[in-house]
Amino acid sequence: MANRILVFYGSYRSDRMGIRLAQFVTRRLVEAGDEAELIDAKAVGLPMLDRMYKEYPKGEAPEALETLAGKIRAADGFVFVTGEYNWGIQPGLKNLTDHFLEEWFWRPAAIASYSAGRMAGARAALAWHGTLSEMGMVVISSALSVGPIGQALSETGEPTGEAGARLAKGFPRFADDLRWWVEAAQAQRAKRAPPY
């Protein structure tokens, strides 16, 4: 049975380079046999957080929230593809993530970061570790960092140049680490229900 992995991407900018990395990750997971789906925060179009999904009476959440909550609950693991904005987290991705809480629990998350510069979004990735852990996910130790993003992936999301070669070489370990934690979490949930 294929692992169900959601790949989240959150830039709202008009010239989005990071979408190339999100598409690359999603495509490579599918090619390896996973059931991966790209969730683009801009396309989902949630409003700025006012009320979390769990704060709506049952059956009264907006359709986009209800649909996404179902996908998150059904997923075995997550990949967060994040750019770095002024040493921090992308607001679009953070906003989408904050609409949910219990839906994330007891599954692993991986972080793939990028930037236009050589730091490859490392500071945003570090910031996401604490956030995702607080939201009930186990963040895997393998990281995927891509920079400069414009030199690493073509417009179609194919690796190019030295940066692309490093990405292609590093991806299998990143994906294998995520799969190991996905399978470990599946086995534990089958053995014993989560304590809360």
Q: Across residues 106-123, what is the average pLDDT?
A: 93
In angstroms, the CA 14 to CA 162 distance is 26
- Radius of gyration from C-alpha coordinates of the chain: 16
The domains of the chain are located at 4-190
Euclidean distance between CA atoms 180 and 77, whole angstroms:
10
Whether the Cβ atoms of residue 149 and residue 18 lie closer than 8 Å to each other: yes
Q: What predicted TM-score, i.e. pTM, was given to this entire model?
A: 0.96
Summarised one tens digit per residue, pLDDT across range 28-80 is 999 999 999 999 999 999 999 999 999 999 999 999 999 999 999 999 999 99
Number of Cβ within 10 Å of residue 118's Cβ equals: 10
The kind and range of the H/E element at 164 are helix 161-191
Digit-coded pLDDT (tens) for 127-175: 999 999 999 999 999 999 999 999 999 998 899 999 999 999 999 999 9
What count of Cα atoms within 13 Å lies in the side-chain half-sphere of residue 196?
3
Homologous superfamily, domain 4-190:
Flavodoxin domain (3.40.50.360)
